[in-house]
């Protein structure tokens, strides 16, 4: 990832006050926190009192329904859906920021539709989607009527007839499935015209200047950086466009992967133009994005699905991570420890995002990060199709299947998609387990950074003092952790409902996450544009990375399934019954 | 190392683009059409608004619904008249 001769950043054994404005680790913290503070001011400073009122109303309905019936009734689900619609970013300023940060949109055959959609084209899409929506609405209404009748029958028996209760639950589940299809079809009838051809150049200038501030203080040539940034931004936009192409959903290939693919294609054919090179600041973009990611590492998420979820996501994952790393060192004798830990964390925690955090924490080379992400993409594409198909074929319960996939499939989006393949219950369990596992990134990044400073980057047999560890410690990790702790405290103080609305659906999704995605895309574009195929092939020599991934993932699959079964069906069956 | 001439480099770029095009828009759709599980996989992503290439939980809208569902199941566990009524 680093751009010096050896491709590894090695801090000199001293810390100076001027590091605060001359080192990119600190600039990543300052820039990241500037965004987070702006987000807090925009989305947390003046919360709408309407949110609390609507949350109380929805919770009141759910509490009453929970006391009335032994299963989730129609009114219960409707109240839950109403609560889920509340978003802190749903304000005029939130919408304006969202529009400014918009990435190229979805398209099927005409790439221009990712940037511009005329009113006529939007109307045409809406008209074409109308018939499907009406058909879906008829089915949803019929399913609702059947569910209402079944629930009324169960209520008529004072919810004391088990058969009627089961029948009502089944009919309500059918309505939920049809309702989801109807809402998706309805969304397609509400396509609005857009044109991001004007906002993208403005965003390019804004992001270029944003990063240029740090570049100036770090002693780089700012005009050259800004000129190069135009090229990096252009390739990043292409990558985002490709990532949103409609068939990419089948392969799990997002913008970050396309950024590497397009970048490498350019670098290894026509060659990366020299004017772009001053803007290939991989670590600067990644570290700033990671500080923003820290705000999304919210520790109150880990109790979302109870103790079984913690065991599946927070006990199995570190065991698999450590065992895979040891296997790589002792058995496979991996030549590179950094490649070993990046693949191990990528495979055991949550794919690309974990790989980025770990690679930055242990200062892995950019080729190692690229290789780890490539392996993850290939196996995710296989597992996200094969696992739900296998689970369905053997008749595994949705909760167990969801937990298994949530704990093993690398990429977060692919986990949700694989869960949805089986049904809503599997989707919910899989997505929640993955979310809890996502939070582990903070602990892993910190642990790897400390371990690397204290053990790996020192001569064998020598111990390293705390001061030396501090000198070597990648300081951006402190910003990452500070953001995590700050937002975890804010989230915890707001309570789960208001935190969801104000933090997740406000500061994070309204400002921080879109920018984090842009920064990572710029970073991966830079990686692609600076990577040579031959160098990459060198790291794959002997196929050891592949063996490491397969061995680690096999262990992960067995251990996660065993833990999920024991926790959800033997130790805590009462929790499983509630899900 | 001697760099190849511009026409050769451009030809390599064209070849790379052609390979990608063939993989994703030639072979890919045929694979999707011949594997029903893949078609279903794409359809459910449309229904729940999921992008399988999404990076983190905040990039997946369904995660919010999943978390709400899980937390509400704890806070408002349906028990019925026998317990709560």
Model pLDDT for residues A228-279, shown as the tens digit of each residue: 999 999 999 999 999 999 999 899 899 999 999 999 999 999 999 999 999 9
Q: How many domains does chain A have?
A: 1
Question: How confident is the model at residue B84, as a pLDDT?
Answer: 41
Mean pLDDT of all residues in A350-363: 92
Q: pLDDT above 70 covers what percent of chain A? A: 97
Q: pLDDT above 90 covers what percent of chain A? A: 84
Q: Is A293 helix (H, G, I), strand (E, B) or coil?
A: helix
The answer for residues whose C-beta is within 8 angstroms of residue A202's C-beta and 6 or more apart is A100
Question: How confident is the model at residue A464, as a pLDDT?
Answer: 72
Structure tokens at A129: 């989607």
The vertex-A154 CA angle with A152 and A156, nearest 5°, equals 65
Q: Is-contact A171 A72, C-beta < 8 A?
A: no
Model pLDDT for residues A522-573, shown as the tens digit of each residue: 999 999 999 988 888 888 888 999 999 999 999 999 999 999 999 999 998 8
Q: Is residue A361 domain-resident?
A: no
Residue A538: alpha-carbon gap to chain centroid = 30
Please tell me the distance from the alpha carbon of residue A342 to that of residue A320, in angstroms, as a whole number: 13
Sign of CA dihedral A427, B70, B80, A143: negative
Segment 43-82 of chain B within 8 Å of chain A by CB? 44-60, 62-82
Angle (deg, nearest 10), helices A412-422 and A398-408 = 160
Question: How confident is the model at residue A9, as a pLDDT?
Answer: 37
Q: What is the mean pLDDT of chain A?
A: 92
Mean pLDDT of all residues in B29-45: 90
Mean pLDDT of all residues in A334-351: 94
Mean pLDDT of all residues in A285-308: 91
Q: Are strands A194-195 and A116-117 parallel, antiparallel or unpaired?
A: antiparallel
Q: Is residue B22 domain-resident?
A: yes
Mean pLDDT of all residues in A310-325: 95
Q: Is residue B28 domain-resident?
A: yes
- The 3-state secondary structure of A421-448 reads HHCHHHHHHHHHHHHHHHHHHHHHHHHH
Question: How confident is the model at residue A305, as a pLDDT?
Answer: 80
Check: pTM over 0.80? Answer yes or no. yes
The answer for residues whose C-beta is within 8 angstroms of residue A61's C-beta and 6 or more apart is A75, A76, A78, A79
Q: Choosing among B4, B28, B53, which should be mutated to test the A contact, i.e. which has the most A CBs within 10 A?
A: B53
Structure tokens at A40: 């807090």
Model pLDDT for residues A128-181, shown as the tens digit of each residue: 999 999 999 999 999 999 999 999 999 999 999 999 999 999 999 999 999 999
Beta bridge partners of A245: A107
Which of A13 and A325 is assigned the larger pLDDT?
Answer: A325
Checking if the pLDDT of A12 tops 70, the result is no
Q: Is residue A355 domain-resident?
A: no
Question: How confident is the model at residue A345, as a pLDDT?
Answer: 96
Q: Which of A207, A427, A198, A445 is nearest to A321 (CA)?
A: A445
Question: How confident is the model at residue A10, as a pLDDT?
Answer: 42
Q: Choosing among B33, B37, B54, which should be mutated to test the A contact, i.e. which has the most A CBs within 10 A?
A: B54
Please tell me the distance from the alpha carbon of residue A564 to that of residue A91, in angstroms, as a whole number: 41
Q: Is-contact A104 A115, C-beta < 8 A?
A: yes
- The 3-state secondary structure of A499-544 reads HHHHHHHHHHHHHHHHHHHHHHHHHHHHHHHCCCHHHHHHHCHHHH
**Do the chains contact at B66 and A432, CB–CB below 8 Å?**
yes
Q: Is-contact A440 A319, C-beta < 8 A?
A: no
**Do the chains contact at B63 and A84, CB–CB below 8 Å?**
no
b/e per residue A443-459 (b: at least 16 CB within 10 A): bbbbbbbebbbbeebee
Q: What is the mean pLDDT of chain B?
A: 88
Give the ipTM: 0.91
Q: Is A567 helix (H, G, I), strand (E, B) or coil?
A: helix
Mean pLDDT of all residues in A191-208: 95
Please tell me the distance from the alpha carbon of residue A292 to that of residue A511, in angstroms, as a whole number: 10
Which of A540 and A332 is assigned the larger pLDDT?
Answer: A332
Burial level of B1, CB count in 10 A (0-12/13-18/19+)? exposed
What residues in A contact B51, CB-CB < 8 Å? 244, 249, 254, 413
How many other CB atoms sit within 10 Å of the CB of residue A577? 11
Q: Is-contact A301 A334, C-beta < 8 A?
A: no
> Can you give the residue range of the structural domain that contains A161?
119-192
Checking if the pLDDT of B19 tops 60, the result is yes
How many other CB atoms sit within 10 Å of the CB of residue A559? 19
> Can you give the residue range of the structural domain that contains B31?
7-75
Q: Is A117 helix (H, G, I), strand (E, B) or coil?
A: strand
The conformation of residue B3, written as its DSSP 8-state character, comes to P
Checking if the pLDDT of A33 tops 80, the result is yes
Count A/B contacts: CB-CB distance under 8 Å. Answer: 236
What residues in A contact B25, CB-CB < 8 Å? 247
- Give me the residue from A80, A184, A412 closest to B47, CB to CB: A184
Model pLDDT for residues B68-83, shown as the tens digit of each residue: 999 999 899 998 876 4
Position A23 confidence tier, pLDDT thresholds 50, 70, 90:
very high
Model pLDDT for residues A456-502, shown as the tens digit of each residue: 877 666 677 788 788 878 999 999 999 999 999 999 999 999 999 99
- Tell me, yes or no, if A155 comes closer than 8 A to chain B by beta carbon: no
What residues in B contact A430, CB-CB < 8 Å? 66
Question: How confident is the model at residue B1, as a pLDDT?
Answer: 59
Q: Is-contact A358 A364, C-beta < 8 A?
A: yes
Q: How many domains does chain B have?
A: 1
Model pLDDT for residues A381-398, shown as the tens digit of each residue: 999 999 999 999 999 999
Q: Is-contact A525 A239, C-beta < 8 A?
A: yes
């Amino acid at each position: 990832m680093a751009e010096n001769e050896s491709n590894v950043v090695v801090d000199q054994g001293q810390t100076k006050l001027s590091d605060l404005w001359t080192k990119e680790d600190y600039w990543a913290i300052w820039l990241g926190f500037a965004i987070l503070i702006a987000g807090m001011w925009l989305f947390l400073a003046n919360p709408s009192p309407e949110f609390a009122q609507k949350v109380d109303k929805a919770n009141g309905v759910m509490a009453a329904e929970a006391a009335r019936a032994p299963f989730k009734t129609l009114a219960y689900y409707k109240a839950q859906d109403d609560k889920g619609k509340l978003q802190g970013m749903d304000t005029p300023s939130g919408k304006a920021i969202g529009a400014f940060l918009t990435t190229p949109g979805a398209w099927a055959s005409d790439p221009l539709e990712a940037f511009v959609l005329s009113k006529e084209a939007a109307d045409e899409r809406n008209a074409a989607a109308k018939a499907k929506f009406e058909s879906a609405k008829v089915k949803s209404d019929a399913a609702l009527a059947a569910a209402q009748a079944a629930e009324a029958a169960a209520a008529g028996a004072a919810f004391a007839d088990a058969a009627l209760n089961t029948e009502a639950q089944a009919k309500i589940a059918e309505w939920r499935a049809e309702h989801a299809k109807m809402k998706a079809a309805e969304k397609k009838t509400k396509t609005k015209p857009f044109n991001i051809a004007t906002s993208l150049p403005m965003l390019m200038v804004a992001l270029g200047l944003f990063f240029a501030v740090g570049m100036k203080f770090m002693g780089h040539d700012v005009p050259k950086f800004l000129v190069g940034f135009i090229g990096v931004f252009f390739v990043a936009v292409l990558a985002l466009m490709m990532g949103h192409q409609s068939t990419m959903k089948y392969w799990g290939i997002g913008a970050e992967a396309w950024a590497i693919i397009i970048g490498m294609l350019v670098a290894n054919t026509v060659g990366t133009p020299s004017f772009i090179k001053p803007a290939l600041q991989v670590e600067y973009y990644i570290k700033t994005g990671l500080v923003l990611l820290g705000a999304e590492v919210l520790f109150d998420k880990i109790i979302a699905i109870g103790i079984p979820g913690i065991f599946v996501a927070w006990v199995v994952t570190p065991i698999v991570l450590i065992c895979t790393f040891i296997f790589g060192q002792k058995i496979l004798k991996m030549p590179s420890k950094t490649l070993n830990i990046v693949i191990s964390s990528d495979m055991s925690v949550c794919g690309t995002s974990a790989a980025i955090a770990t690679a930055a924490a242990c200062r892995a080379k950019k080729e190692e990060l690229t290789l780890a992400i490539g392996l993850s993409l290939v196996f995710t594409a296989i597992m996200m199709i094969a696992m739900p198909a296998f689970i369905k074929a053997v008749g595994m319960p949705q909760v167990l299947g969801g937990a298994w996939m949530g704990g093993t499939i690398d990429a977060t989006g692919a986990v949700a998609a694989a869960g949805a393949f089986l049904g809503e219950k599997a989707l919910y369990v899989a997505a929640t387990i993955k979310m809890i596992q996502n939070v582990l990134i903070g602990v892993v990044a910190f642990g790897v950074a400390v371990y690397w400073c204290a053990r790996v980057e020192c001569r064998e047999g020598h111990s390293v003092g705390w001061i030396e560890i501090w000198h070597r410690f990648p300081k951006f990790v402190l910003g990452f952790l500070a953001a995590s702790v700050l937002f975890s405290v804010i989230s915890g103080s707001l309570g789960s409902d208001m935190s969801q609305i104000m933090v997740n659906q406000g500061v994070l999704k309204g400002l921080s996450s879109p920018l984090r995605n842009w920064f990572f895309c710029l970073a991966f574009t830079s990686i692609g544009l600076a990577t040579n195929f031959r160098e990459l092939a060198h790291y794959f020599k002997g196929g050891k990375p592949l063996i490491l991934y397969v061995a680690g993932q096999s262990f992960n699959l067995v251990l996660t399934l065993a833990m999920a079964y024991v926790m959800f069906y033997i130790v805590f069956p009462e929790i499983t019954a509630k899900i | 190392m001697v760099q190849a001439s511009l026409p050769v480099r451009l030809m390599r770029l064209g070849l790379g683009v052609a390979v990608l095009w063939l993989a994703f828009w030639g072979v890919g759709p045929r694979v999707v059409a011949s594997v029903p599980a893949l078609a279903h996989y794409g359809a459910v992503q449309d229904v729940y608004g999921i992008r399988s290439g999404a990076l983190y939980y905040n990039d997946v809208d369904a995660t919010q619904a999943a978390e709400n569902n899980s937390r509400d199941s704890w806070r408002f566990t349906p028990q019925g008249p026998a317990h709560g009524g």
